[in-house]
């Protein structure tokens, strides 16, 4: 283990912060369009009315997720050949181009959709590489905290988008710049992400994987702000781990993915993100004003309620990341969160049927109750299904299929994200307030999936996680692999001890 230095910690946090600007960008865009599609200025400039509003809203919000689904796969060869930093810079440039196309008042929905797809390519690619870049460079002592920055910055991005939309809706009349300003502001974090990559070093792990050992050493020295023998021993450990992973992948055949344990883990990786999208939080983030309209009726309060919703999200997410992320069991949190969210959604359905919102900007006691339940729901989400699927998918795959497994899981997240972001507008039009019942029932199935298929892994090493998810003969193999890993680690410890004695 490398000695901790104040400068090294600063550089690690700086690297994590710069990378997680991508999380802010993802969140800002997620919270942006739900309000913009309600602006009369946007509807007038792109010439569509109420008869085509549902289809247009679905495409404006959802089509970017389709681009992101493609982008999260397309970025892999770029990151493998050119490195993590360049891949993130490419994603930044692509997203910026898409944002510029969206900002131009072309009066063409086709051009706007194209800009959304281009931005999606950059967004999807960065979502994969940023987490990888951060985890490959962070000291193990703060890796979990830096990894949580992405989710926190994502939530902060949503919060910012809601309040920007609220501000322009109240300060600027129904003219073109009312919708152009929020969209153009995306360019700032996108540019900062790309430029920020120039201030940090390349992934040590990627350089070592390419056999560029001197560059890997220089990069590790810069990140740790230390050139001691302990830091050299850390580099040797990284090189040994890479060799072990390469050995584990030797002779890999894609048909192995159909083997029982591998297929089970791949299925879990896909379904866990389906569950994350099915609890309704993503739909609420994308279509906040429309959902609050169902709860309290049409009126100017919908944007304000959505902005407050964003504030509740960031407080809940920050509280979880800072105080609870390593203190509560993952499975227990997922089960408890699912049950609580189901109860909230079912009660909301009952209240909206017993006492429908009167409209005209009048908010009844029942309406206040449903809004409070939505806020409680999103708090539970940020303590459970918001942050926890990511570490679960990151740890359940053995080294032999790890890259394919994580790629499949993250890719499915964008697929389900697209499915819900595109369909929710139609669901609201067809189901009205019964959409809350849909999510409440979906929460029940999410809890059942957690009970029967997920394992508790908090506090376990990666080797122990593999053993927990293995079955039968596979569990024996995992146990042997764990023993081998411990023996190899013991050898590394002896090497490090020898270095210290020589010093």
Contact 171, 37 (CB under 8 A): no
Q: What is the DSSP letter of 332?
A: H
Q: Which of 104, 74, 103 is closest to 91 using CA atoms?
A: 74
CA 476 to chain centroid, in Å, comes to: 34
End-to-end CA distance of the chain: 16
The confidence band for 402, taking pLDDT boundaries of 50, 70 and 90, is: confident
Q: Which of 20, 171, 176 is closest to 102 using CA atoms?
A: 176
The answer to whether residue 440 scores a pLDDT higher than 50 is yes
Residue 456 in tokens = 């508790």
Please write down the HEC assignment for all residues of 451-486.
HHHCCCCCCCCHHHHHHHHCCCHHHHHHHHHHHHHH
DSSP reduced 3-state for 230: helix
Instruction: Dump pLDDT digits (tens) for 189-233.
Output: 999 999 999 999 999 989 998 999 999 999 999 988 888 888 889
| pLDDT more than 70, % of the chain | 89
The confidence band for 12, taking pLDDT boundaries of 50, 70 and 90, is: confident
Cβ neighbours for 101, distance < 8 A, ≥ 6 positions apart:
111, 112, 114, 115, 118
Other residues' Cβ atoms within 10 Å of the Cβ of residue 144: 14
| The predicted structure's pLDDT at residue 129 | 87
Mean pLDDT of 51-71: 90
Highest mean pLDDT among 94-98, 202-206, 217-221, 358-362: 94-98
The answer to whether residue 411 scores a pLDDT higher than 60 is yes
161 compared with 479, residue with greater pLDDT:
161
The CA-CA-CA angle for residues 274, 277, 281, to 5°, reads 160
Cα distances from 107 to residues 46, 99, 165, in angstroms, run 5, 15, 21
| The predicted structure's pLDDT at residue 195 | 94
Cα distances from 28 to residues 17, 160, 221, 306, 428, in angstroms, run 16, 6, 34, 14, 23
Mean pLDDT of 370-383: 95
The confidence band for 473, taking pLDDT boundaries of 50, 70 and 90, is: very low
Residue 461 in tokens = 């090493």
Mean pLDDT of 465-473: 73
Distance CA 159, CA 312 (A): 9
Radius of gyration over every alpha carbon of the chain, rounded to an integer in angstroms = 24
| The predicted structure's pLDDT at residue 481 | 42
Cβ neighbours for 397, distance < 8 A, ≥ 6 positions apart:
265, 269, 404, 405, 406
Cβ neighbours for 103, distance < 8 A, ≥ 6 positions apart:
180, 183, 184, 187
For 71-75, 323-327, 471-475, 485-489, which range has the lowest pLDDT when averaged over its residues? 485-489
| The predicted structure's pLDDT at residue 9 | 79
CA 431 to chain centroid, in Å, comes to: 28
Burial profile 182-202: b = 16 or more Cβ within 10 angstroms, e = fewer: bbebbbebbbbbbebbeebbb
Helical (H) or strand (E) element with 94: helix 84-103
| The predicted structure's pLDDT at residue 2 | 55
Cα distances from 59 to residues 67, 102, 110, 289, 320, in angstroms, run 12, 14, 10, 17, 33
| The predicted structure's pLDDT at residue 496 | 40
Distance CA 366, CA 352 (A): 7
Distance CA 160, CA 311 (A): 9
- Domain edges within the chain: 1-227, 258-469
Distance CA 44, CA 21 (A): 33
Distance CA 170, CA 419 (A): 32
The answer to whether residue 24 scores a pLDDT higher than 50 is yes
The answer to whether residue 478 scores a pLDDT higher than 70 is no
Contact 91, 119 (CB under 8 A): no
| The predicted structure's pLDDT at residue 133 | 85
Q: Which of 454, 455, 453 is closest to 464 using CA atoms?
A: 455
pTM, full prediction: 0.82
Highest mean pLDDT among 93-102, 317-326, 476-485: 93-102
The string of DSSP codes covering 170-192 is HHS-SSHHHHHHHHHTTHHHHHH
Report the residue count for the chain: 503
The CA-CA-CA angle for residues 488, 491, 494, to 5°, reads 155
Contact 292, 367 (CB under 8 A): no
Cβ neighbours for 146, distance < 8 A, ≥ 6 positions apart:
12, 13, 16, 134, 135, 138
The CA-CA-CA angle for residues 115, 170, 65, to 5°, reads 25
Return the CATH architecture of domain 1-227. Answer: Up-down Bundle (1.20)
Instruction: Dump pLDDT digits (tens) for 252-286.
Output: 899 999 998 999 999 999 999 999 999 999 899 99
Query: Is the fold of 1-227 the same as that of 258-469?
Result: yes
304 compared with 362, residue with greater pLDDT:
304
The answer to whether residue 494 scores a pLDDT higher than 60 is no
CATH topology of domain 258-469: Growth Hormone; Chain: A; (1.20.1250)
The confidence band for 480, taking pLDDT boundaries of 50, 70 and 90, is: very low
Contact 218, 200 (CB under 8 A): no
| The predicted structure's pLDDT at residue 118 | 96
| The predicted structure's pLDDT at residue 3 | 61
| The predicted structure's pLDDT at residue 462 | 66
Highest mean pLDDT among 12-26, 208-222, 316-330: 208-222
Mean pLDDT of 295-308: 84
**Whole-number mean pLDDT of the chain?**
86
Distance CA 182, CA 32 (A): 7
Cα distances from 78 to residues 72, 86, 129, 249, 450, in angstroms, run 11, 8, 10, 21, 35
Mean pLDDT of 101-105: 96
């Amino acid at each position: 283990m490398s000695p901790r230095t104040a400068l090294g910690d600063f550089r690690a946090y700086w690297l994590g912060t710069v990378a997680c600007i991508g999380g802010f960008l993802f969140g800002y865009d997620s919270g942006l369009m739900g309000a913009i599609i309600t602006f009369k200025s946007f509807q007038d400039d792109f010439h569509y009315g109420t008869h085509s509003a549902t289809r247009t809203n679905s495409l404006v919000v959802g089509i970017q997720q389709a681009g992101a689904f493609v982008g999260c796969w397309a970025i892999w060869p770029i990151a493998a050949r050119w490195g993590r930093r360049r891949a993130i810079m490419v994603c930044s440039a692509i997203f910026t181009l898409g944002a510029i196309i969206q900002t131009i008042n072309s009066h063409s929905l086709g051009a706007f959709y194209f800009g959304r797809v281009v931005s999606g390519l950059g967004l999807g690619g960065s979502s994969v590489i940023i987490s990888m870049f951060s985890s490959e460079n962070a000291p193990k002592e703060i890796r979990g905290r830096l990894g949580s920055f992405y989710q926190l910055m994502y939530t902060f991005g949503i919060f910012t988008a809601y309040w920007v939309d609220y501000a322009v809706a109240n300060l600027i009349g129904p003219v073109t710049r009312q919708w152009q300003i929020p969209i153009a502001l995306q360019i700032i974090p996108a540019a900062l992400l790309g430029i920020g990559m120039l201030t940090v070093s390349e992934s040590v792990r990627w350089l070592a994987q390419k056999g560029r050992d001197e560059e890997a050493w220089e990069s590790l020295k810069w990140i740790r702000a230390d050139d001691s023998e302990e830091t050299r021993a850390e580099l040797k450990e990284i090189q040994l781990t890479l060799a072990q992973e390469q050995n584990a992948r030797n002779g890999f055949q894609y048909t192995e993915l159909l083997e029982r344990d591998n297929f089970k883990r791949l299925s879990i990786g896909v379904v866990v993100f389906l569950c994350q999208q099915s609890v309704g939080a993503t739909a609420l983030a994308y279509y906040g004003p429309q959902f609050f309209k169902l709860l309290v009726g049409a009126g100017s309060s919908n944007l304000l309620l959505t902005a407050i919703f964003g504030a509740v999200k960031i407080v809940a997410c920050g509280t979880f990341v800072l105080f609870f992320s390593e203190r509560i069991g993952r499975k227990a949190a997922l089960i408890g969160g699912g049950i609580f969210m189901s109860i909230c959604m079912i009660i909301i359905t009952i209240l909206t049927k017993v006492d429908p919102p009167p409209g005209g900007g009048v908010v009844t006691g029942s309406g206040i109750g449903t809004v409070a339940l939505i806020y409680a729901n999103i708090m539970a989400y940020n303590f459970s299904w918001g942050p926890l699927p990511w570490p679960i998918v990151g740890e359940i795959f053995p080294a032999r299929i790890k890259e394919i497994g994580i790629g499949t899981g993250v890719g499915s997240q964008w697929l389900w994200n697209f499915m819900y972001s595109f369909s929710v507008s139609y669901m609201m039009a067809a189901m009205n307030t019964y959409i809350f019942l849909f999510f409440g029932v979906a929460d029940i199935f999410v809890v059942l999936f957690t009970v029967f298929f997920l394992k508790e892994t908090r506090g376990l090493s990666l080797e122990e996680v593999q053993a927990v998810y293995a079955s039968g003969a596979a569990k024996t193999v995992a146990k042997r692999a764990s023993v081998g890993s411990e023996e190899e680690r013991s050898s590394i410890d002896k090497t490090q001890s020898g270095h210290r004695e020589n010093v």
